[in-house]
Structure 1
Amino acid sequence: AAANLIERGDRVLVISTGYFGQRFKDILDRYGANTTILEAPLGEVVTLEAIEKELKTGNFKALTITHVDTSTGILVDPEPIAKLAQKYNTLSILDGVCSVAGEEVNQEKWGLDIVLTASQKAIGVPPGLALLIASEKAMEVWKNRKTPVGNYYADWTNWLPIMKAYEERRPSYFGTPPVNLIVALETSLKIICKEGILARVKRHQELARAFRAGISSLNLEILPKTSQIAANTLTAIYYPKGIDGSALLSKIASKDIIVAGGLLSKIKTTYFRIGHMGSVSSNDLFAVLGALEHALLELGYNMDPGISLQAFQKELLKAGIK
């Protein structure tokens, strides 16, 4: 997105809710963008008023939105931001790495110019593929750029003839693709289509709601300050007071459950993250909560054994999940 749409000196607004907002700024800076970053307070989202105030200063070529920031578990509503981008004739770029196929995304309806993701999260494929969909407006901006794209292998000039040839079922060469991952992607997309994207998004929402109920029953706090901005693909959880984080993760790992430590540098030792996306089932999350409970009890945390499993089960029953 940055390589093809941004030229040196272009103004870009980055709307950040964590580590990957800053990452987007670093990428844009490499392509010579004049970047402004709006950082949300920890556990919150950037307000629409703040975004519009910045857009009013004029001539932003693009803005970026991190739909779900993997470092914080914050979920942003892209639709009103995309509408603001249209109002100010600004391209909108959605980082959907931790959201596509797990959260609701309506690119055309919302007016998003770019939606990008990767293969390894809710798509459910091993890492290695970048997936991107561009609007006609974005393609026009790219066609009318004044300078060559500064990244040879990311240049749409090289990829579009390959895609056109593929659609016409004739051979064409630019670079050898990772055919094993493309076969895996085809398999995963068939699974997603069989489930149905609306049903898949609903499943993520219901599992996340039940999982957060389990976490809350343990008197553990999550990073998002409200449930409305808590992601349905991943949960970021503060370590309880008096519990050593590294010891907790080690004990969970000893039970064959792998969770992630903190990523946001200023607070990385105070929290951990649990993914619940893609093919993750309620049975998987029962195992996670069981391992978390057991580890907390071993470390002397004061709680009623089984309480998170009960809370999780109650929410599943309410949602009708078997």
Structure 2
Amino acid sequence: MASRLIQALRRAQPLTTRGYATVSNAHLPPVAGVIDVPQRILMGPGPSNAHPRCLAAMSLPQLGHMHPPFLKIMDDISEYLRYIMQTDSKYTLAVSGSGHAAMEASVANILEPGEKILVGVTGIWGQRVADLSARFGGDVVELNAGLGETLSFESIKNAVETHKPKVLFLCHGESSTGTKQSLEGVGALCKANGCLLIVDTVCTLGGVPIFADEMGIDVIYSGAQKVFGCPPGASPFFMSDAAMEKLQSRKTTVATYNMDMKLIGDYWGWYGGRSYHHTGPISNFYALREALAITAEEGLENSWARHQAMYELLWEGLTDAGLEPFVKKEEDRLPCVNTITVPEGIDAAALCGFAMNKYNLEIAGGLGPSAGKVWRIGIMGYNAKPMNVNLVVTAFKEGLAAQGFKK
């Protein structure tokens, strides 16, 4: 048998002589071998360093995306999300994609062409949702806050009652400006005005208290790579019963097949069965399942308390270094992503470079409206521990001293 195979291989004509051009080594990459990735401490606005359990989970064997053991992992994700989002709704899942994909899913499924959406803009993510909503044919009305500020309940109430939108969007944690938007009373306001509430929790879910049902939220989307300390690629998503009723009663088909929750929900078992929609990111689902399990094992209240404690430790050190928060009102500050005012005369980029060169530590600059005005420090998930926070403070003190800064 083996000798016949060898003889057949010897007789076989090379593929390159069968009418094809000869392979050119000019297209051979100059570098080959094992990938080389540096070790870095990611204390910017995300991604954060992944928990070792999440990384280990990604090395587990692949399963078929419709195999019962894999469907069980998907069910685990849904169950954990119900706990972490504090909801009884069965409409929880992980979108196959980054937080941007989940953002798009929230708008695409709830907003129909010609319907009015009121978008709270407190930074770049509100601006992004306004853009996205217009692309799906929505009638977009922006409600803007000042830079480093949040929207008051009174301004939200007045805008809802004046414009009578079908959908209201708010960003719970605006990572570009470091603000935390209060949601108190907004759900009830929306319900009283026939309006659905979408909330971005990409950098707050698991690190800041949120109660989907109690707060009257209709759609939540988040990301894996922030508080959950998980590689990006599978993003938490939730719909209330009211949001599902809106989806099922649409007059138009959801404009994106890839994010159509009528179809994806069936893959996740929302409607009683299971049908193929797409190949889920198997290894990413493994990692997210572990990340959610880690959060559940710690307990939500303990996770919230840990992130708050590390936020306080950070600002104790930064204040001692002579630095000031960009967000003036303490109740508006986002514990998970902190914005620090760049003092006059200080080269912000040089300090970031100093931290990276000396400590392999990421300190990020501003984004969108805060570009050039702030540094941004993330305290999220696996990174939210004293060792990392103290290193950030040390890097700031040394980097500022190198530029001659005196508090």
TM-score of the two chains, using structure 2 as the length reference: 0.71
1:140 aligns with 2:245: yes
CA contact (8 A) 1:44 1:224 kept: yes
- Name the structure 1 match of 2:405: 301
3-state secondary structure, aligned to 2:117? strand
Deviation larger for 219-228 or 68-77: 219-228
CA distance in 1, matches of 2:174, 2:360: 26
- Name the structure 2 match of 1:318: none
3-state secondary structure, aligned to 1:273? strand
Q: 1:59 to 1:211 in 2, by over 3 A?
A: same
- Name the structure 2 match of 1:219: 322
Deviation larger for 93-102 or 171-180: 171-180
1:79-98 to structure 2, matched below 5 A, reads: 79-98=184-203
Q: Relative contact order (C-alpha < 8 Å, sep 6+): which is higher?
A: 2
CA contact (8 A) 1:165 1:172 kept: no
* Cα distance, 1:270 vs structure 2: 2.0
- Name the structure 2 match of 1:307: none
Q: Which amino acid aligns with 1:164?
A: G
Structure 2 unmatched runs, 5+: 1-105
- Name the structure 2 match of 1:247: 350
- Name the structure 2 match of 1:260: 364
* Cα distance, 1:226 vs structure 2: 1.2
Q: Which amino acid aligns with 1:202?
A: A
TM-score of the two chains, using structure 1 as the length reference: 0.90
* RMSD over aligned Cα atoms: 1.6
Q: When the two structures are aligned, how many residues end up with a matched partner?
A: 300
* Cα distance, 1:302 vs structure 2: 1.5
* Cα distance, 1:225 vs structure 2: 1.1
3-state secondary structure, aligned to 1:42? coil
For residue 2 of structure 1, the aligned residue among 103, 107, 110 is 107
Offset from partner CA, 1:64-104 (integer Å, 9 cap, x none)? 11000010110011132222212212101110001101110
Offset from partner CA, 1:124-170 (integer Å, 9 cap, x none)? 111111221100000000100100000011001211221118987xx
CA distance in 1, matches of 2:183, 2:308: 17
Structure 1 unmatched runs, 5+: 304-322
1:102-181 to structure 2, matched below 5 A, reads: 102-164=207-269, 172-181=275-284
CA distance in 2, matches of 1:150, 1:194: 39
1:199 aligns with 2:313: no
Q: Which amino acid aligns with 2:366?
A: G
Offset from partner CA, 1:17-49 (integer Å, 9 cap, x none)? 111111111111111111111111112111211
Offset from partner CA, 1:222-278 (integer Å, 9 cap, x none)? 22111111111010111111111111111111121112111024x411211010011
CA distance in 2, matches of 1:233, 1:58: 32
CA distance in 2, matches of 1:83, 1:219: 42
Q: Which amino acid aligns with 1:28?
A: S
Report which of the two structures shows the higher radius of gyration computed on alpha carbons.
2
Q: 1:90 to 1:194 in 2, by over 3 A?
A: same
CA contact (8 A) 2:355 2:395 kept: yes
CA distance in 2, matches of 1:214, 1:91: 41
